[in-house]
């Protein structure tokens, strides 16, 4: 029995041994097969998964103001990584420089102590961290400083310093100025010029060889790019940053003063349609105002009385009225079916001319002109509006343009017996501020309808590669004679009508006020029993030779002042004044008069400075004492002379007539404490000239405007 058990055991042991040998041979076969037969292919696949060429984003092109100022630019943002174990970074180099490096890092970032930085870097080197993250969101100016630090200045191979371009942050140097029009293009959302010209701004990505390490992090294998990225092109806009600043601030101050919900301003160059300034501000929860939506481009609303210009032009063009014809407005009320239209003036205007009806913005007068002449054929009125181009979008490159809405006769559009009179005064239709301005600009441009232009050129490295010429949408929206009459009407509004408060001595303005009740879906024209208004003013300047057109729209002013001339008009006037004061081409050429060699009026002061000024004016200087510091100019025998001013030590000098700068310099050097009040030249002093004084005494100087 024992022998039998021994044989069974031996057989089992043999089978186990044989199986183990066969298993080992299979493993050995697989090793040799993978190593020599499939090795190259598998190594290639492994390499492809851990090493590959990764895209390096190109710098997005700049958006420039018309003078080349930066409106939007890309700022590179870096991630700083460290290889703490490069072969060339010996312990001797590391240990002799780590204290200095830690001090520089602590001083630069001011977050942890020098000792903490040293401890962090020593521990990272101890564990041989080859891609240690030191800092994120580093701008280029900080990167330059880091590259000069101990150890880091040795570069990547010897110092382990690795700067990885993480992304490029888009910055607006002028912050809110035209921010919504400049826009953005990110996460699949395209807004403003950034979105409209994204293909030009984008550029072409480069390639860099990188290896994936733990944490799914891609580490550059070298500092060299395999394919250099090509930066995007720049776009040169039509925006004038100085006028933009004026428009933005004028709008902001008026929104604050009237506690308004939102508003917009657009300034356009008449001849070209160039948008020189476009501001959009809305009140946010904190009560501050911010550029959160492009109202000028996207908000379609009932325009109100600014639309009356289109109504009158249609009637003039069709020959139904002339501006000197009379119209009976009665007591300022008129009934259309079960609705009543009224004028703002209690008691009405009685019998007035068509021109006066427009100047006074008479709802009764304008609606009577349109209903009496188009009531039986309203299609003709709509055709007139279509000829003016008011039924079509402008087709601007910026996305989100509001669609114009002008009803056509028929039940499908909601047309009723009230539509025509209400439409004639700017209700029951919708237009954006930019669409209204483009129409007014055409009137200023003798009938030529220009497409608003935001971009003039596409540039690369400062050189033009594509010019975007002005686009004419319609060579003539109506006859020249109608345009001349329309311009007289607009001038009359400011001279005699609802915008008399905008009369400007230096520059003549032409335009139309608008005050309209704002409708909402739930409450009609009221909200919480209060009527909500929109105030506007559209026009151009100078009236006799239009160079710029402008529209101002302010929504929901809440300080009980809502008329267009009082809310929107002052913004228009301020912009017109600023444009006029900064544009030499708008001023008449000054003709120099031959007045002879007129002696200038010069106050006494320091000799060297006065002599320089007098010589610069072309006069000879005759000084009695070339070495005196203070002199008194005077004229004798037609010659300008300088007389020495004598100051007696310990006695108060006479500084009347002297410039404040010189007087303060003189008196404080003599030990007196000076106080000043008023503006102009020194006309009085509290210590009488020639009296004794003690050092430290006070003297009060009185200044008055020059006579």
251 and 387 share a domain? yes
Q: Is residue 380 part of a domain?
A: yes
Mark whether 208 and 127 lie in a shared domain: yes
For residue 520, pLDDT beyond 70: no
Residues 228 and 253 in one domain: no
User: Residue 386 falls within a domain, yes or no?
Assistant: yes
Q: What is the pLDDT of residue 522?
A: 44
Last residue of a domain, one of 556, 583, 610: 583
Residue 261 and residue 309 in one domain:
yes
Distance CA 154, CA 148 (A): 9
HSE, side-chain direction, 13 A CA sphere, residue 451: 17
Residue 159 falls inside a structural domain? yes
CATH classification at residue 703: 3.30.10.20
Q: What is the pLDDT of residue 277?
A: 97
**Nearest-angstrom CA–CA distance, 310 and 21:** 101
Cis, peptide link before residue 542, omega less than 30° from 0: yes
Identify whether residues 484 and 504 lie together within a single domain. Answer: yes
The single residue listed with the structure tokens 């001038």 is 491
**Between the CA of residue 550 and those of 298, 392, 668, what are the distances in Å?**
17, 20, 53
Check whether residue 503 and residue 388 sit in a common domain.
Answer: yes
Rounded CA separation 650/695 (Å): 9
d(CA 403, CA 415) in angstroms, rounded, equals: 19
Tell me if residue 26 falls in helix, strand or coil.
helix
Cα 376 versus chain centre, distance? 49
SS (H, E, C) 516-553: EECCECCCECEECCEECEEEEEEEEECCCCCCEEEEEE
Range with top average pLDDT, 20-29, 43-52, 115-124, 130-139? 115-124
User: Same domain, yes or no, for 631 and 537?
Assistant: no
Kindly report, residue by residue over 270-296, the tens digit of the pLDDT. 999 999 999 999 998 888 999 989 999
Q: Flag whether 47 is in a domain.
A: no
pLDDT at 453 over 90: yes
**676 by DSSP, 3-state: which?**
strand
Q: d(Cα 526, Cα 522) in Å, to the nearest integer? A: 9
Characterize the bridge pairing of strands 605-606 and 530-531.
unpaired
Q: Is residue 181 part of a domain?
A: yes
What confidence tier does 628 reach under pLDDT thresholds 50, 70, 90? low
Residues for the chain: how many in total?
A: 707
Rounded Cα distance between 372 and 320, Å, is: 10
CA 499 – CA 479 distance, rounded (Å) = 27
Q: What is the residue range of 124's domain?
A: 54-237
Question: Within a domain: residue 45?
Answer: no
Q: Is residue 536 part of a domain?
A: yes
Q: Answer whether 621's CB lies under 8 Å from 602's CB.
A: no
Which of 334-338, 442-446, 485-489 shows the lowest per-residue confidence on average (mean pLDDT)? 334-338
Q: What is the pLDDT of residues 455-474, one digit of tens each?
A: 999 999 889 999 999 999 99
Where a domain ends, among 202, 237, 272?
A: 237
User: By percentage, how much of the chain surpasses pLDDT 70?
Assistant: 81
CATH classification at residue 117: 3.90.1310.10
Q: Which residues contact 435 (CB under 8 A, 6 or more apart)?
A: 390, 393, 394, 402, 404
Give me the CATH number covering residue 525: 3.40.710.10
Tell me the HSE value of 290 on the side-chain side, using a 13 A CA sphere: 6
pLDDT tens-digit readout, 604-626: 666 666 666 666 666 665 554 44
pLDDT in tens, 474-507: 999 999 999 999 999 999 999 999 999 998 768 9
543 and 665, same domain (yes or no):
no
Residues 335, 402, single domain; the answer is yes
Model confidence over 566-605: pLDDT tens digits? 999 999 999 999 998 887 767 665 554 544 455 555 566 6
Residues 6+ apart with CB under 8 A from 700: 674, 675, 676, 677, 685, 686
The mean pLDDT of 418-430, rounded to a whole number, is 96
Q: Tell me, yes or no, whether 560 and 683 share the same domain.
A: no
Q: What share of the chain is helix, strand, coil (3-state, %, to 5)?
A: 35, 25, 35
Q: Which pLDDT score is estimated for 161?
A: 93
Number of structural domains, the chain?
4
Query: Whole-angstrom Cα distance, residue 614 to residue 599?
Result: 10
From 221, 237, 253, give the residue that closes a domain: 237
Q: Comparing 331-345, 540-554, 636-650, which segment has the lowest mean pLDDT? A: 636-650
Same domain (yes/no): 255, 364: yes
Residue 38 lies in a domain: no
Alpha helix (H) residue ranges in 148-208: 155-159, 179-182, 192-196, 198-202
Work out the average pLDDT over 508-536: 74
Number of neighbouring beta carbons within 10 Å of residue 693: 16
Confidence at 564, pLDDT banded by 50, 70, 90 = confident
Q: Are residues 114 and 151 located together in one domain of the fold?
A: yes
């Amino acid at each position: 029995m024992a022998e039998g058990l021994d044989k069974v055991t031996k057989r089992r042991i043999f089978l186990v041994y044989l199986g183990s040998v066969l298993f080992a041979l299979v493993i050995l076969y697989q090793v040799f097969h993978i190593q020599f037969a499939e090795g190259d292919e598998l190594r290639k696949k492994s390499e492809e998964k851990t090493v590959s060429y990764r895209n390096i984003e190109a710098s997005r092109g700049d958006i420039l103001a018309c003078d080349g100022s930066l409106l939007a630019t890309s700022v590179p943002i870096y991630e700083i990584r460290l290889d703490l174990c490069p072969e060339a970074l010996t312990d001797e180099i590391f240990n002799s420089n780590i204290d200095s490096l830690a001090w520089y890092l602590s001083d630069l970032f001011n977050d942890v102590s020098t000792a903490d930085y040293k401890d962090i870097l020593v521990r990272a080197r101890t564990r041989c961290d080859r891609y240690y993250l030191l800092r994120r969101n580093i701008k280029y100016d900080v990167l330059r400083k880091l590259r000069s630090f101990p150890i880091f200045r040795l570069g990547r191979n010897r110092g382990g310093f690795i700067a990885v371009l993480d992304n490029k942050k888009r910055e607006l140097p002028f912050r809110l100025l035209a921010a919504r029009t400049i826009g953005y293009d990110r996460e699949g959302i395209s807004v403003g010029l950034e979105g409209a010209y994204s293909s030009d701004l984008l550029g072409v990505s480069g390639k860099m060889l990188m290896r994936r390490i733990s944490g799914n992090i891609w580490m550059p294998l070298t500092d060299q790019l395999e394919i250099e990225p090509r930066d995007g092109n720049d776009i040169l806009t039509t925006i004038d940053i100085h006028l933009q600043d004026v428009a933005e601030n004028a709008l902001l101050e008026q929104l604050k003063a009237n506690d308004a919900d939102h508003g917009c301003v657009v300034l356009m160059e008449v001849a070209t349609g160039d948008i020189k300034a476009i501001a959009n501000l809305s009140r946010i929860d904190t009560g501050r105002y911010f550029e959160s939506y492009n109202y000028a481009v996207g908000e379609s609303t009932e325009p109100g009385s600014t639309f009356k210009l289109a109504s009158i032009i249609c009637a003039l063009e069709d020959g139904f009225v002339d501006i000197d014809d009379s119209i009976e407005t009665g007591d300022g009320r008129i009934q259309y079916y079960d609705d009543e239209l009224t004028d703002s003036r209690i008691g009405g205007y009685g019998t007035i001319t068509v021109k006066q009806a427009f100047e006074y913005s008479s709802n009764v007068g304008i609606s009577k002109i349109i209903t009496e002449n188009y009531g039986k054929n309203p299609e003709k009125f709509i055709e007139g509006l279509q000829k003016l181009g008011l039924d079509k979008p402008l087709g601007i490159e910026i996305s989100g343009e509001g669609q114009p809405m002008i009803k056509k006769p028929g039940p499908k559009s909601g047309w009723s017996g009230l539509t025509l009179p209400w439409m004639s005064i700017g209700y029951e239709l919708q237009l954006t501020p930019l669409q209204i301005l483009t129409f007014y600009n055409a009137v200023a441009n003798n009938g030529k309808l220009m497409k608003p232009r935001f971009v003039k050129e596409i540039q690369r490295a400062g050189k033009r590669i594509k010019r975007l010429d002005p686009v004419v949408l319609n060579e003539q929206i109506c006859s020249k004679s109608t345009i001349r009459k329309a311009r007289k009407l607009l001038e009359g509004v400011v001279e005699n009508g609802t915008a008399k408060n905008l009369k400007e001595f230096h520059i003549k303005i032409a335009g139309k006020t608008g005050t309209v009740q704002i409708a909402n879906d739930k409450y009609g024209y009221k909200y919480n029993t209060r009527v909500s208004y929109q105030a506007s003013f559209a026009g151009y300047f100078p009236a006799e030779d239009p160079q710029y057109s402008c529209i101002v729209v302010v929504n929901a002013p809440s300080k009980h002042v809502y008329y267009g001339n009082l809310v929107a008009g002052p913004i228009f006037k301020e912009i017109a004044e600023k444009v006029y004061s900064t544009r030499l081409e708008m001023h008449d050429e000054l003709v120099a008069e031959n007045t002879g060699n007129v002696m200038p009026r010069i106050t006494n002061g320091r000799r060297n400075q006065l002599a320089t000024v007098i010589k610069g004016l072309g006069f000879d200087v005759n000084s009695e004492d070339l070495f005196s510091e203070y002199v008194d100019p005077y004229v004798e025998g037609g010659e300008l002379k300088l007389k020495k001013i004598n100051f007696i030590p310990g006695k108060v000098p006479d500084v009347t007539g002297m410039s404040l700068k010189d007087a303060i310099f003189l008196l404080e050097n003599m030990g007196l404490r000076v106080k000043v009040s008023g503006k102009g030249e020194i006309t009085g002093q509290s210590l009488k000239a020639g009296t004794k004084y003690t050092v430290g005494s006070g003297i009060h100087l009185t200044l008055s405007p020059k006579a």
